[in-house]
A and B are shown apart, each in its own frame.
Chain A
Amino acid sequence: MVMPRRSLWSPLAVLVLLGLAALLLSVTLGSAALSLADVWAVARGQGSPLARTLILELRIPRSLSAFAVGGLLAVAGALMQVLLRNPLADPYVLGLSGGASVGALAAMLAGLGGAVITGSAFAGAFLSTLLVFGLAHGTGSWTPSRLLLTGVVVAAGWGAVITLMLAISPAERLPGMLYWLMGDLSYSRSPWPPLTLLLVICLLLMPLGRSLNVMARGPLQAAALGVNVRPLEWTIYLVASVLTATAVTTAGSIGFVGLVVPHMLRLVLGNDQRLILPACALAGGTLLVLADTLARTMIAPEQLPVGVITALLGVPTFLYLLYRSR
């Protein structure tokens, strides 16, 4: 955690470069491959109309959405892990995405579209947040293990509701619902709201970084060192909920980014939240841009849901990390 300023910036600079490289790659690759020269021409305001449409209206917005969603999920995961002092916590484990999914599917089932699905997913995530935090709070004794257990049980409940909805929904609506459940960036509209949120939250979290470091030592130790524990806990939980809800409403339910990215970064960079949180935003974004590029190109012109890619990459990575951890 002791880091002179220099060593705090250099990993972030590396991650920024990686992120830019991933974005560039994602813009050139696709069902119609473009050369760097094409991209450069479009960037200068030239190039063929087809290339312009492809890059400016399809690939760049989609890649930026992927970056924003990945960053949001990774930061949300990192925050949850500090809150629960458990490296296995993540918004998905805690039922936030389950709530969002139920909200979105209910809207789809009712035949509603667009903004209603977004709003409904957001409402679902918040309902789940309140439910988990309220129930775990219970009669006063509030412990990480209790919160984690409550989250897991609520998530299982949402899972059952999702299955029920899929079972009773008409066949023609099923593909859209399934894609949404597995995470899919092709529905995402403007990348700017999630991207702006990511930037704003990262800036807001910077001054809280050292308090979060102390929180990771447990609430009593944190309180003894001058942290206002309860307000900080609520802030973390609410921020993580907003991040997750935004990510889920942008791209559906994408697992493992929030779990694997913070975990891997901690192995390399240590556990100073002032470094880990911005690093999560960058690395999570990069990872999801690459995963989405894979999803678009692997069986092009068909597309895979990006959630499948992250799970296929995430599960073995995570099991390996778990196996190696002391």
Chain B
Amino acid sequence: MNRLETRRLVIDVPGRRDGRALTLSVEPGQVWGVLGPNGAGKTTLLHTLAGLRGARAGQVLIDGRPLAALGRRQVARTLGLVFQDRHDGFPATVRETALIGRHPWLSAWQMESGEDLRLAEAALQRLDVAHLAERLVSTLSGGERQRLAIATVLTQAPQIWLADEPTNHLDLHHQSAVMALLAEQADEGRAVMMCLHDLNLAARWCDHLLLLYPDGEACWGPARDMLVPAALERLYGQRLATAEIDGAPVFVPVR
């Protein structure tokens, strides 16, 4: 059970003046969605929360301890990040790729054990890519790669999940399956925060939302308070029509 907190955090988006400082707490069991137009700093925020880039001001804390004071390995055991883009330099198979999620858990001299392999297999199974285990990553489709990236973090087994557009490239069924997986992680007591472009997925699966405006303004809170059409229209600069379907609000851009 780990809590991810920010204290007066100002993310460093090049060429933008300091926006609103973020002081928020992602508790175990919560699913946070980060919404905002292109270039609002969603990815920068996630990378800052994961300690991959410095903040302009303020702190990120895990269970009250500043991220900077924890070793990289310690952070990697607690917090996992699904990246938006991936680069494959050298050829690697799907199984090998999932297995690198065990890296923070193994000492320098240790080889991956049968147990590590079992965790990787289970993650591949869960994301519906187990049948591709022997394939080279470079031969996969975009959606299959996306699921593999999520399976790698599942193999890493962090208590805090950060996911940068986890439904990118996924078909409808797998979008739903991935959101269900992330919600399940939260149900099991993990903290989840993800960037999303799909308002309707956010409305459906997130219990908290953080809206990032392109000028650095931000607001956050429980999802039902944030899903105000006027606020969302200002966020995207797009008029929206709203309806309620299947117990959740649905937003459709107006032509």
CB within 8 Å of B: which residues of A?
Answer: 1-5, 8, 85-87, 206-208, 210-211, 213-214, 216-218, 220-221, 223-228, 266, 270-272, 274, 326
B33 at the interface (CB under 8 A from A): no
Bound-state Cα–Cα, A17 to B145, Å: 40
Cβ-based interface call for B174 (8 A) = no
Closest to A8 in B: B111
* Residue in contact with B99 in the complex, picked from A2, A86, A224, A226, CB distance below 8 Å: A2
Closest to B138 in A: A326
Q: Is the pair A271, B81 in contact by a Cβ cutoff of 8 Å?
A: no
The interface stretch among B88-96, B189-197, B207-215, B241-249 is: B88-96
Provide the residues of chain B in CB contact with A221, threshold 8 Å. Answer: 83, 86
Having A85-B89, A208-B108, one finds 19 other A-B pairs with CB under 8 Å, namely A1-B93, A2-B95, A3-B111, A207-B109, A210-B103, A214-B103, A220-B52, A221-B86, A223-B51, A223-B52, A223-B72, A224-B52, A224-B83, A225-B76, A225-B156, A226-B76, A228-B72, A271-B90, A271-B91
The closest CB in chain B to the CB of A210 belongs to B103
How many residues of chain B have a CB within 8 Å of chain A? 39
Specify the main secondary structure of chain A where it touches its partner.
Answer: loop
State the B residues within 8 Å of A (CB): 47, 50-52, 71-77, 80-81, 83, 86-93, 95-97, 99-101, 103-104, 106, 108-109, 111-112, 117, 120, 138, 156
CB contacts (< 8 Å) of B111 on chain A: these are 3-5, 8, 274
Q: Please, which residues of chain A bring their CB within 8 A of the CB of B101?
A: 225
CA A8 to CA B111, docked complex, whole Å: 11
- The residues of B that contact A227 with a CB separation of less than 8 Å are 72, 103
User: Taking the nearest CB of chain B, how far is it from the CB of A274, in angstroms?
Assistant: 8
Contact of B83 (CB < 8 Å), options: A1, A220, A228: A220
22 contacts between A and B (CB under 8 A): A1-B92, A1-B99, A2-B99, A2-B120, A3-B111, A85-B90, A86-B89, A208-B108, A213-B100, A214-B100, A216-B90, A217-B89, A217-B97, A218-B87, A220-B52, A221-B86, A223-B72, A224-B81, A225-B76, A226-B71, A226-B73, A271-B92
B89 to chain A, nearest CB (A): 3
A226 touches B112 (CB 8 A): no
Candidates A3, A220, A224; contact of B76 at CB < 8 Å? A224
